[in-house]
A and B are shown apart, each in its own frame.
Chain A
Amino acid sequence: MSSEIGETGKAGIVVASEDAAPAEKLAHSLVDDLLYNVVHDLLLKVHRDEKIARANTAAIKVEKLAKSTNADPKPDVEIETDAAIYKDGRVTLKSNPLKSTKEILCSKCHLPRLLHPTDGKGAKKPDPGVIYCKKHPYIDKQGYDIYGQTWVAPGPGRGKKKKDQKLDPNDPSSPATGLEGSAKDRPANVLSYPSATCPKCKRCILVTRLNNHMGSCIGNSGRNASRAAAQKISNGSNAGSQNNDNTPPGSQKGTPRPSSRAPSPRKRDGDEFDEDAEDSDTTSNHNAAVKKKKFKPSNNKLTKVILKAKSPAIAGNTKKEAKAKGSSSLNVEQKASNDSKTNGNHNAKDTSTVEVAPKKQAPKSGNAGGGNNASPAKKIKLGSSKPPLSSSAAGGKKGGIKRDRDVESESSGTVPSPPPR
């Protein structure tokens, strides 16, 4: 189609040699023309976006000026800027907006747009004195997302290596998450896993465990459901033997996670919550236990807590504890972060707070009555109706293993935790 004369097309980049055959010359000029078109189309697109944005900026500016100079917006004001004229309520351009207008105002909020990303490729430092429109250029940086956020790399196997409990307080998707996550000790742009509430049992589950949890909590319809029901009933009748019945039918079927496969009920329950424990310093196992404890809502008195009852109860702290436990939906992650933060203070606080944990347990043990013997696992089964049980179970597990430590850590953990909302 091209009848360009000469060895090349319009772009003049793909050039055939002088002694090339005619077909070769034609091919070169075709490719060159196509290259020109590609660049032309690209340029036109960018030009359009940029010029319209600048023209609108000029219009916004002059309109603003018109409004500010005249209290009541009469249309007969006439305002002139370098780029535009406001007259009779209309805006007309004065010259090419690409030349006359240097910045771009957002057409929605009328704030200047940040024109360069703040990080990564092509980054420039924004002027700290300017309030920019919230729409920022996307960041292109290895290991970071478009908002400059980064992630905690998942460790080998399940769970995350590092503690990543920082919550975004704005996250609406996880209403259960606490608002005042203490994130001061880690960079603000590290994303973490939030928790969400299971709509059925209302328990607060870390998002990475959510699917497994729902599998066991909601589970399949039909055969499995009836089987689960039957299991529950049998569990209820013989409270003493929990070990075999612990795994919910759903997870029996096909959960890939090691946690769900665990034969002992206690372990399973623990897993549901110990994600955060793992996240927090691995060295401090007891911390994890503490967190779990917090989960217990005040209403579940029959839970493992009893195990801890051994430690002497101190009345003074009870109140506090109850408060902390009041809401079943406390956020796992938040607590974890608190824990980590408070680790340093740990010892100091221990003395004062240690008492808290035992104290709480005392009343619980009373309620539980003969429940002391019951293993945590059993309770969980019963607990489909009682959401908070699992947490208690988890605590119980820990308690069973190392009670003494638990007590200490528990107290330390609980004190700093913010009151539930």
Chain B
Amino acid sequence: MSARPTTPASPRNFKVKAPQAGQPMYGCEHLQRLFNQDQVTTNTSIQHYRAILRSIYDTNPLVPQTAKAGEGVVVTTLTPTYLCLQCPSTLTEEERTRHGGKKSHRFYVDSRSGALYCQMCDDIVWDPTFEEMRLKKIGTGTFSNRKRKHEEMFETSDPVRDNPTYLSSNTTAASCKSNGLRGIYNAGATCYQNVVLQGFIHNPILRNFYLSDGHPSGSCQVPYCLSCAMDDMFQDFYALETTNGYTAASILSGFWFSDRKAFENLVATKEQDAHEFFQFLAEELHERNGDGKKPETASEHMCQCIIHQTFYGKLESATTCQNCGGVTRQIQSFLDLSLPLENLGHKKGKKGSQQRTSLTLQECLDEEYIKQDKCEYRCTNCSSTQQARRQTSIKLLPNVLSIQLKRFEYKQGRNERAAKIDTPVHFPLELNMLPYTNRGAATRAQDGNTNGNTTNGTNGINGVNGSGASKPENFELARTCTYDLLSVVVHVGEIDTGHYVTYCRVGDQWFAFNDHRVELAQKSDVLNAKPYLLFYVVRSLS
């Protein structure tokens, strides 16, 4: 939406994407003819295509879904409509043929995906020029070149990427076979490490960092450096043709050698908590790559290291004194969101009079980041301890959102013991975090004032919450808050003994990792698992 060429008189000339080896220049012969007519046609075609994409992705879906179905009849449909590239009509599939015959307009854009349909081919056409725009729109919301394309976020980023010769002469191409899909051998009750490591391996941001030599392991002087070990691991996963398991000896030894006191109890040969290991690994890698400052959990400390850029976000908690109405705001950074299950499960169980019900991830998030809770705090205005309401929301969303579901609870009482909560929690492949941010809260308040409707927190995938939603900024906002599921860590077994497995997504395919075993997984397998840790990656990296 930036740098939008609004006037037709704009002197800017659009260019067709430069030819690339191994790729045809145009999507089909007919598009070739269109682009080769003259510059004016090219300009208008591209401008129209952009406008259409904007109306598809940045406006209320009612707009592109409403089409002419014939003489004077206008329908709004759930199914795709077709937006003519050469005039401002929106047509149903039947009407599209007639329109083509009458006006000789041959190109239409599918309203659900932005894909281009060529009537002469009678097929969807994937033209390099148009496709690049479409992916940029989906990925970043703009057509600007500064930002990375949706697809390229899965390639290593390099500032001199523009120069193909530089790249080809300075890189060693990995074999077509090496794809990062390998198991990791269990070195004796280390499955809790394996699942976290697999999550890191398939994290596109960390992968790009390590594969682009983000950690100079060649010159690193730290003995038993865990980051060097990670570097080695990424190399082994993505550069070698090996298909058997990986022996994470260097990680393990780095782990054993680590003197991190907070996780001393992790250093044992017993089964451990994967979440604790995740925290350990994150902090250790932060220390190796970051500003060297020890991360303090309750501070707002942000550094530029890869771990902070990847995993860390900020929470804001606003405490409102019930006596004087004063608001105290506190901001702290977080590595992951920990969601309690027990209270919610009980509450729900009572309500529905069922013993074991299932929860949704959104319900858990609602509980923590939308609802307010009461607490006592010492108000500086009243200079006394007062009842207060506290509301926590997310101020800054991380690029990779890690969520821990607190399945392991320590029960207090006569027989104190730790117990595992087995409640199934349903989680989406696509998660909209907007309602849990402070901007989402603000939007909610706004909507509440105008509509008297505040219940809309959980259902929006595209974040269409009431009245404010028709503005393009809101779609932009919703887009930056949309997350795709990346990996799921599952704990099977009891509290004191069990096994961890993980599901990770590579492209669109899911894989199940069970130590050194790697198998294909269906989405249904993934979604039916009982998650313990969830990793979501933001859809548009900007």
Q: Does A171 reach chain B (CB closer than 8 Å)? A: yes
- Output the residue of B112, B115, B252, B508 with the most chain A CB within 10 A: B252
A147's closest neighbor in chain B, by CB?
A: B243
Q: Does B528 reach chain A (CB closer than 8 Å)? A: no
Report A138-161 residues with CB < 8 Å from chain B CB.
138-140, 144-147, 149, 151
When distances are taken between beta carbons in the complex, the residues of chain A under 8 Å from B80 are 37, 40
Cβ contacts B247-259/A at 8 Å (1 or 0 each): 1111011001101
B76's closest neighbor in chain A, by CB?
A: A1
A253's closest neighbor in chain B, by CB?
A: B268
When distances are taken between beta carbons in the complex, the residues of chain A under 8 Å from B27 are 55, 93
Q: Find out whether the CB atom of B77 lies under 8 angstroms from the CB atom of A2.
A: yes
Cβ contacts B114-132/A at 8 Å (1 or 0 each): 0100000101101000000
A202 to chain B, nearest CB (A): 11
Q: Find out whether the CB atom of A90 lies under 8 angstroms from the CB atom of B25.
A: yes
A91's closest neighbor in chain B, by CB?
A: B24
Cα-based distance from A111 to B123 in the complex (angstroms): 27
When distances are taken between beta carbons in the complex, the residues of chain A under 8 Å from B32 are 92-93
- Output the residue of A45, A58, A106, A210 with the most chain B CB within 10 A: A210
Q: Does B11 reach chain A (CB closer than 8 Å)? A: no
Q: Does A215 reach chain B (CB closer than 8 Å)? A: yes
Interface-located stretch among A218-226, A303-311, A388-396, A403-411: A218-226
Q: Does B175 reach chain A (CB closer than 8 Å)? A: yes
Q: Does B517 reach chain A (CB closer than 8 Å)? A: yes
Partner of B121, one of A96, A168, A172, A209: A96
Q: Find out whether the CB atom of A92 lies under 8 angstroms from the CB atom of B188.
A: no
Interface-located stretch among A191-199, A262-270, A355-363: A191-199
Q: Does A41 reach chain B (CB closer than 8 Å)? A: yes
Q: Find out whether the CB atom of B247 lies under 8 angstroms from the CB atom of A92.
A: no
The count of chain A contact residues (Cβ–Cβ below 8 Å) is: 90
- Output the residue of B79, B181, B267, B518 with the most chain A CB within 10 A: B79
A136's closest neighbor in chain B, by CB?
A: B177
A116 to chain B, nearest CB (A): 14
Q: Find out whether the CB atom of B176 lies under 8 angstroms from the CB atom of A108.
A: yes
Q: Find out whether the CB atom of B112 lies under 8 angstroms from the CB atom of A40.
A: yes
Interface-located stretch among B15-23, B49-57, B340-348, B430-438: B15-23
Q: Find out whether the CB atom of B244 lies under 8 angstroms from the CB atom of A171.
A: yes
Q: Find out whether the CB atom of B519 lies under 8 angstroms from the CB atom of A171.
A: no
A33's closest neighbor in chain B, by CB?
A: B78
When distances are taken between beta carbons in the complex, the residues of chain A under 8 Å from B19 are 89-91
Q: Find out whether the CB atom of A172 lies under 8 angstroms from the CB atom of B245.
A: no
Q: Does B37 reach chain A (CB closer than 8 Å)? A: no
Q: Find out whether the CB atom of A138 lies under 8 angstroms from the CB atom of B516.
A: no
A55-B23, A92-B25, A145-B517 given; A221·B112 CB < 8 A: no
A91-B23, A96-B123 given; A149·B78 CB < 8 A: no
The count of chain B contact residues (Cβ–Cβ below 8 Å) is: 72
Partner of A45, one of B62, B179, B508: B508
When distances are taken between beta carbons in the complex, the residues of chain A under 8 Å from B189 are 211, 256
A63-B22, A171-B244, A257-B269 given; A191·B176 CB < 8 A: no
Q: Find out whether the CB atom of B268 lies under 8 angstroms from the CB atom of A215.
A: yes
Q: Find out whether the CB atom of A215 lies under 8 angstroms from the CB atom of B29.
A: no
Q: Does A368 reach chain B (CB closer than 8 Å)? A: no
Partner of A197, one of B24, B76, B249: B249
A93-B29, A198-B253 given; A212·B188 CB < 8 A: yes
When distances are taken between beta carbons in the complex, the residues of chain A under 8 Å from B62 are 1
Q: Does A60 reach chain B (CB closer than 8 Å)? A: yes
Q: Does B65 reach chain A (CB closer than 8 Å)? A: yes
A97's closest neighbor in chain B, by CB?
A: B24
Q: Does B187 reach chain A (CB closer than 8 Å)? A: yes
Partner of A214, one of B25, B177, B252, B520: B252
Report B436-466 residues with CB < 8 Å from chain A CB.
none
Q: Does B246 reach chain A (CB closer than 8 Å)? A: yes
Q: Find out whether the CB atom of A172 lies under 8 angstroms from the CB atom of B236.
A: yes
Cα-based distance from A113 to B66 in the complex (angstroms): 42
Q: Does A59 reach chain B (CB closer than 8 Å)? A: yes
A170 to chain B, nearest CB (A): 5
Cα-based distance from A63 to B79 in the complex (angstroms): 40
Q: Does A228 reach chain B (CB closer than 8 Å)? A: no
Q: Does A174 reach chain B (CB closer than 8 Å)? A: yes
Q: Find out whether the CB atom of B270 lies under 8 angstroms from the CB atom of A48.
A: no
Q: Find out whether the CB atom of A146 lies under 8 angstroms from the CB atom of B511.
A: yes
A-B contacts, 24 of them at CB < 8 A, read A1-B62, A1-B78, A10-B79, A37-B79, A55-B27, A90-B19, A90-B25, A92-B24, A106-B176, A111-B176, A135-B179, A140-B519, A151-B517, A168-B242, A191-B244, A196-B247, A200-B253, A208-B185, A210-B249, A211-B269, A212-B188, A251-B269, A254-B269, A254-B270
Known contacts A151-B516, A191-B244, then 12 further A-B pairs from the complex at CB < 8 Å, ordered by chain A residue: A37-B78, A41-B113, A52-B126, A91-B19, A93-B26, A109-B176, A146-B519, A191-B245, A207-B185, A207-B187, A211-B188, A220-B267
